[in-house]
Structure formats: structure tokens, C-alpha cells
Amino acid sequence: MSRPTHARLSASGVVLHVRQAGSGPVVLLLHGFPDSGELWHDVTPMLVAAGYRVIAPDLRGFGSSDAPASVGGYALGHVVADLRVLIARLAGDTPVRVIGHDWGAVAGWCLALEHPQLVRSQVALSVGHPRQYAVAGLEQKLKGLYTVAWQVPGAAERWLAQRGYAGLRGWGRQHPRIDDCVKDLSRPGRLTAGLNWYRANLRRVLFGPWEKCAVPTLGVWSSGDHFLAEDQMRDSHQRMQAPWRYERIERAGHWLPLEQPDRVAELALQWFAQH
């Protein structure tokens, strides 16, 4: 594969660190908490080998990108505005393909819902359509309780950072590279920046009006996910006005791009070949 290049690009009021590799149709890779664009390190070579150009930004607040000071700076509207700028600058008028994980999947859903002309097709890893997440059953409510606890500024930071970030390590015990995440989020202000994604957006996800999706979507969920229940992904077909497919990956936890990169790339390439 071609060596990834790194750039800092002005987006919607912030400067984002962006990785690029390969040539051909664009695939935009969107990470979630507590990651950065490095989440896609093992997936990228397979997409590039298949003839795609990969763009993997550090979303606002993460990695080497800017971290706004206010909670409101992490609202999904700002995130989508960032993505619109990146697409315009790096893909021009050509719709892109998107793979998103965790909050990156939510951002991908929002981009597809609000600007379907920009997205040719998408792969949503772990998180289903936002409305389906909101109405999912008791299992999802229990698995998502931590997102409510993280709404309290200061208290959540103290709990996660206690005893050398034992709280964050315990929460992310499934993460294959949790030490790297701890190192990244232990920088001044960065843990708060990551938590502000939850503080800025949980109410909208749970109570906001959500349209049906007009972009072809592949939803992928893993049987060992500690944070997401199957129904919120499986039943997202109810929120679609475009082709939909659901895939379940066995014996994998939440961080599919790290635990099952070959399978993620395989499923995505199959989907992109059809849509």
C-alpha cells in the first residue's frame, strides 16, 4: 500500500489532523471514543489494496485535532459540518463511502440523514440508527447507563482518572490498545473533550426527531459488545428507505476495527461493490 500521508486541515472552526492513503474512490473512516484515526490502522491497507482512497481524520477533541473548550463545540451539527468541509476539500463533488464506529457511526448516520447527496453508501459498526438506539429494549438501557453517569462534569473525569486511570482502563477493558488511549486522553483537557461528545449529544440521540435513512447501509454488530445491544442494530431496518443489510460477528467485543479488521474490511468491500 502507499504510505499514509498526514495533514492538518481547517474544518468548521477547528483544525483536524487527517490521514490519507491510496487512490481511487474515497472511503471516509470515522472513529469514536476513546480512539483516534489510528483505530483504522489495520483496516486501511485492505481498503487501499482494493483500490480505494482512505481518509481517516481525528475527529474534534481526539488525537492531534483541535479540542474546543465548550461542551457545545462537540454537538453533532459541528461534527457534520467538519465532515462536509473534509469531503468538499478532499473528494470534491463525488459522493463518498463511509465506515463509522461508535460515535463515528453516529456521525456517519447524521451525515447520511442530513446530506444524503454526499454519501454513496455507509457501514455502521456497533451503533444502529439513532432512533432505533433510543427505543431499544431494557438490555440497551442497562448497557448504556454509563452514558448518563458521564453527563456530570468533573465527577466523571475524577472517576475515570483515579489511580492512574484505573476507571478508564476498567471501562475499556475490551479495548486491545487501551494503554494508547489512556496516554492520549491523559493530556490536559483531552478526557473532558472526549466526554463532551456524550454531554453535547445524548439528549439529541435519545429525544431528537430522526428521519429515515435514504443511504444504503450495512449494519454490523458483535456478540461480545459490552455497550451496545443487538436489537438497536438489527432492528434499524425499520428506519431505512434504502437498501439495508445486517451482519453479526461472533466472538468479538466492541472494538471491531481492532479485533476483527479483516472481517470488517471484507464486509465493507462486499457492500461497497454492490452500492
**What is the mean predicted confidence (pLDDT) over 134-157?**
97
Domains of the chain: which residue ranges?
A: 5-274
Res 2: pLDDT? 64
Confidence of residue 4 (pLDDT cuts 50, 70, 90): confident
Helix 190-207 and helix 103-114: axis angle, to 10°?
50
Confidence of residue 3 (pLDDT cuts 50, 70, 90): confident
Res 206: pLDDT? 96
CATH number of this structure's domain 5-274: 3.40.50.1820
As a whole number of angstroms, the longest Cα–Cα distance in the chain is 49
pTM of the model: 0.97
pLDDT > 80? residue 1: no
**What is the mean predicted confidence (pLDDT) over 129-145?**
98
Can you give the three-state secondary structure of 70-134, one letter per residue?
A: CHHHHCHHHHHHHHHHHHHHHCCCCCEEEEEECHHHHHHHHHHHHCHHHEEEEEEECCCCHHHHH
Res 238: pLDDT? 98
d(CA 100, CA 106): 7
- For 219-248, write each residue's pLDDT tens digit: 999 999 999 999 999 999 999 999 999 999
- For 159-214, write each residue's pLDDT tens digit: 999 999 999 999 999 999 999 999 999 999 999 999 999 999 999 999 999 999 99
- For 50-107, write each residue's pLDDT tens digit: 999 999 999 999 999 999 999 999 999 999 999 999 999 999 889 999 999 999 999 9
